[in-house]
Structure 1
Amino acid sequence: MKNLVFLFLYLLAQISFAQQLSIEEFATGFSSPLNIQHAGDERLFVVEQGGLIKILNNLSTNPTPYLDISNQISSNGERGLLGLAFHPNYQTNGKFYIYYTDINGDSQLSEFTVDSNNPDAADASSEVNLLSIAQPFSNHNGGCIAFGPDGMLYVATGDGGSAGDPNDNAQNLNSLLGKILRLDVDIAAPYIPSDNPYVNDGNTLDEIWAFGVRNPWKFSFDTSTEEIWIADVGQNEIEEINKTNNTAGLNYGWRCYEGNQVYDSSGNCPENNQLTFPFAEYTHNNSGLSKCSITGGFVYRGSEFPNLLGNYVFADFCSDELGMVDNTGNITYFGPFSGNNFSSFGVDQNNNLYVAGISSGTIYKVIDESLTAKNDSFENLVLYPNPTSGEVFLDAAENIQQVELFSIQGELLVKNSFAHNSSRKLAFSNLASGLYLLKFTNYKEETATKQLIIK
């Protein structure tokens, strides 16, 4: 452990440049892994499509599953055990939630409780069904569930399947299909938060938070900004990445639009100013490799790879590439890492990032191989005094456009922008003593990182 700490401090002291995403094997031997979660401790929970949740602990897989519902699901094609979320107070109340397709092919959202005598086993008899959704077709089931910064449970549903949303479900506020739903699991059924946008509107369904999605294959919340990132699988050509402040009632456009392109303007399509268009998108022929389906990931907020801070990492299921979206919406691709068909990302309690290969049955840790790469644009950058009591100066920093201060947990604390030739004095008040990370961006959109110690 001591060596890891010294390595971390050394890496923070480097001025880094171009990120180089790669993967390293973390654990293998899983059957069609579709989800990776943690419960606020050192364990990772791996969800298998066939109905098992397994525990990874100290790099080994427990021989007995945490939960086995294989006898009550259908798992062919896009069906199966699709989602897992632990209650924010799981360590005290033991509650967790799963999303699966039952033997009839319909979607079920259920609550379970951990076994009171065994923290590595769920109480299989504790299931409480929170929501049932009839599915007209076998595909586009959605299935990602996650608790937001507000403590509410968010649920992503697909448009019901087939092709082209033939029933126009995603734009229909009387259907739960093609939506982001929002539930308060700490109140009585039907678990509707009072501030959901369509509460008590007789023409809509109360569970709906946002709509106009096709098959959102994973969404996540940025733990620093609280923004929601939604990866929505496209119909013919365009995969989209939505980033918003998670405002209630947003319409993400499907089936009216596929990405930024008109798909089907008949039916319930509103004016464009009522739609929320993607923050980033890519076509199936980007970077020369055939793509087909986005797998959403996370904004990196770990401490091991500071050059990745604030970037959103995703994958494409067919090309076996990792993608990274910066704060301007530009996408960079890495790989391919063949033989995986990346199906899900997850983070541990320290915000380290992992990705699952459904075909390989392997969980990988996502890493940055370029930590010591140098860039002449920042070669003469000097930060002083360091350690400081809260005020620092930058020398040779005339090209610096922006400085961001992060905690070592990856939380964005301060953002400063500079005009050309302006003063490069930084003042950080009300910060606790400790280690922080400064990320610099120049006018070429190049980045570098340095550690800062507050006395």
Structure 2
Amino acid sequence: MRGNFAVEGLPIAERIEKGAVSIELETVASGFAAPVDLQISPDGTGRLFVIDQAGKIYLIVNGVLQPALFLDLTNRLVSPLGIIGSHDENDYDERGFLGLAFHPDFANPASPGNQKIYTYTSEPITSPADFTTDPAPASINHQSVIAEWTVAVSDANLIDPNSRREILRIDQPQFNHNGGMLAFGPDGYLYISLGDGGAANDSGDGHGPAGNGQNINTIHGSIVRIDPLDPLTTPDSNDLVAANGKYRIPVDNPFVGLDGIDEIFAHGFRNPFRFSFDSVTGKLIVADVGQNNVEEINIVEREGNYGWNLKEGTFRFDPATGQVSGNLAGLPAELTDPAAEYDHDDGIAVVGGYIYNGTAIPELAGKYVFGDFSRSFAAPAGRLFYADLETGLIQEFIIGADNHELGLYVKGFGVDADGEIYVLASSTLGPYGTGGVVLKIVGL
């Protein structure tokens, strides 16, 4: 499976085959530009919140897409989205509205987290950042911003637009590799995924000689763990108040009191676009998008180093060429390999999903449901997979009685209160148009 080679596209001999699980995809809502995330509010209402990369949160109540937006952040985003800036539906971009999380005490009136949500957005450079790269970039493309919002007192289906409290602002040297996922762990802390800052091979402006993924003195290329509440509302907490005074840092984060950034929980990532926690075991599962060869699914633990840019998957990575080889001699022993991987013969960008803990498809129980963005950027050819993370075996779903192709770009996943999983996809490459859909995975 691994040899002494340095070729593009073929480090893994085995292809992903069709498995035995047949599914159908039920359309829940459509008309989005680029849906990238779906969340539920922890209040028992069953509402679904769809995050559109173009800047909006849509609300689905009892299966019906509501005409009013929960929140519109379009005017806060870097503009125009798209590498070319043409507003064309196939103008690709990795910036935008990327993540949403509800505080676990969202429905607890006695908690400072009551009615609080958190957003991850790509914004223009409007104020000094809390973090930049090491060394600082010669130019900054945009800033990643984490903010807190509060639901309007008068309307449970609307965010108070005046409630915004900025928590964290991070310089990004390039447009890509932003990470963008937000989720609260079973420990009650907010986890944030941050990519290596962009460009390619973790090199160039804003990337030090060793790259950002391996540099614990930059926040890029990491999973961050914080308590996002205003420290003034948590006076009894033993956690550290952040340097900007806007959040707390868990005292058991691995680099607290040591060399390295206190907020980092784990590092060595290229672009951990999506991650999730297993609702049964609590395991943190991070899908890390690869460079030219290998896509990763990692089970992430505190203080873990997941290899980038020394490794891509289980292979040595050469930043000078962007290629991989099987020669692992001399690599640090502490690098953690992925639980599952595949190469670019089967797709070009992993999109992380969720462990299936629903009941509608019993044969999926305990499997990790995820996908790949597309076989190419030129056409919508996304794929839907499920994996056994104990063995690393990845299989592809059979879609429909006719075993048809998905025919869409896969852009995200979501899970509802019953543990059933949703696919977020679009017929268009970029964050424009109306080709985005929310599809529910159901048994055939």
What TM bracket, shorter-length normalisation? 0.7 to 0.9
Report the equivalent of 2:212: 169
Residues 274 and 351 of structure 2 are in contact (CA less than 8 Å); yes or no, is this contact kept in structure 1?
yes
Question: Is 2:147 the partner of 1:110?
Answer: yes
Report the equivalent of 2:277: 221
SS in 2 for 1:106: strand
Q: What CA deviation, in whole Å up to 9, does each residue of 1:136-192 have, x standing for no partner?
A: 001111100100010000000010000000010111111111000000124623421
Report the equivalent of 1:146: 183
Question: Is 2:208 the partner of 1:192?
Answer: no
| Distance of 1:187 and 1:249 partners within structure 2 | 26
> TM-score, length-normalised on structure 2?
0.75
Question: Is 2:70 the partner of 1:66?
Answer: yes
Report the equivalent of 1:403: none
Report the equivalent of 1:450: none
Q: What CA deviation, in whole Å up to 9, does each residue of 1:258-296 have, x standing for no partner?
A: 101111389xx984420110000001113xxxx110100
Gaps of 5+ in 1: 1-16, 370-455
| Distance of 1:272 and 1:172 partners within structure 2 | 14
Q: What CA deviation, in whole Å up to 9, does each residue of 1:222-263 have, x standing for no partner?
A: 11111111100000011011124xx31100000000101111
Question: Is 2:120 the partner of 1:99?
Answer: yes
Alignment equivalent of 2:317, drawn from 249, 263, 267: 263
Question: Is 2:64 the partner of 1:44?
Answer: no
Report the equivalent of 1:211: 267
Residues 270/208 of structure 1: CA separation in 2 closer, same or farther (3 Å cut)? farther
Could you list the structure 1 runs, at least 4 aligned residues long, displaced by more than 6 angstroms after superposition.
none
Within 5 Å, which residues of 2 pair with 1:270-309? 271-286=331-346, 291-309=347-365
Report the equivalent of 1:342: 410
Residues 229 and 247 of structure 2 are in contact (CA less than 8 Å); yes or no, is this contact kept in structure 1?
no
Report the equivalent of 2:383: 321
Report the equivalent of 1:27: 29
Please identify which structure carries the higher strand content: 1
Q: Which has the larger radius of gyration?
A: 1
| Distance of 1:22 and 1:240 partners within structure 2 | 26
> TM-score, length-normalised on structure 1?
0.73
Residues 87/215 of structure 1: CA separation in 2 closer, same or farther (3 Å cut)? same
Q: 315-324 vs 134-143, which deviates more?
A: 315-324
Q: What CA deviation, in whole Å up to 9, does each residue of 1:407-432 have, x standing for no partner?
A: xxxxxxxxxxxxxxxxxxxxxxxxxx
| Distance of 1:18 and 1:357 partners within structure 2 | 23
Residues 318/69 of structure 1: CA separation in 2 closer, same or farther (3 Å cut)? same
| Distance of 2:443 and 2:143 partners within structure 1 | 40
Q: Aligned-pair distance for 1:337?
A: 3.6
Please identify which structure carries the higher helix content: 1
Residues 352/89 of structure 1: CA separation in 2 closer, same or farther (3 Å cut)? same
Report the equivalent of 1:181: 224
| Distance of 2:317 and 2:307 partners within structure 1 | 10
SS in 2 for 1:28: strand
Report the equivalent of 2:58: 54
Residues 235 and 258 of structure 1 are in contact (CA less than 8 Å); yes or no, is this contact kept in structure 2?
yes
RMSD (CA atoms): 1.8
Q: What CA deviation, in whole Å up to 9, does each residue of 1:55-86 have, x standing for no partner?
A: 01122211110001111102331100000000
Identity of aligned residues (%): 41
Report the equivalent of 2:12: none
Question: Is 2:176 the partner of 1:160?
Answer: no
Gaps of 5+ in 2: 1-18, 83-92, 109-113, 126-141, 232-245, 321-328, 376-381, 428-434
Alignment equivalent of 1:78, drawn from 83, 91, 94: 94
Question: Is 2:103 the partner of 1:87?
Answer: yes
Length, aligned pairs only: 344
